[in-house]
Amino acid sequence: MKLSKAEEALMNLLWDQKKAFLKDLIDAHPEPKPASTTVATLLKRMTDKGYVAYKTFGRSRQYYPLVPKKDYFSRQLNRLIKNFFNDSSTQFASFFTRETNLNKQQLEELKALIEEEIQKK
């Protein structure tokens, strides 16, 4: 299940902090700060979706991510490749290298990464 943009923004704060109380997440949020009820609602939805869990300390909850950022990003990227590039990593790589205005050094670094992965296989 995918996160909304607001949920993703909050999830990024939680990934950065590793563990956080509601107040910590609001404090870390850029201006304008959301209402605590808004953040609580987002956290409830993210918990229901299986992205976040919490430990209870008295009347407070300390939230933590259940899904690592790398795993979430990988799923989103694979969904993008499937939906917009006919499930072709080659089409995605072609688009990425041509349309993102990479300079020569960046392309060389990308080439080295690809060659490294080829050697592993």
pLDDT score of 27 = 95
Q: Residue range 77-82: average pLDDT?
A: 91
- Output the pTM of the full model: 0.79
pLDDT score of 10 = 96
**Span 21-51, pLDDT tens digits:** 999 999 999 999 999 999 999 999 999 999 9
Task: State the DSSP string of the chain.
Answer: -PPPHHHHHHHHHHHHHSSEEHHHHHHHSPSSPPPHHHHHHHHHHHHHTTSEEEEEETTEEEEEESS-HHHHHHHHHHHHHHHHSTT-HHHHHHHHHHHS---HHHHHHHHHHHHHHHHH-
pLDDT score of 101 = 85
Domains by residue range for the chain, with CATH: 5-65 (1.10.10.10), 69-120 (no CATH)
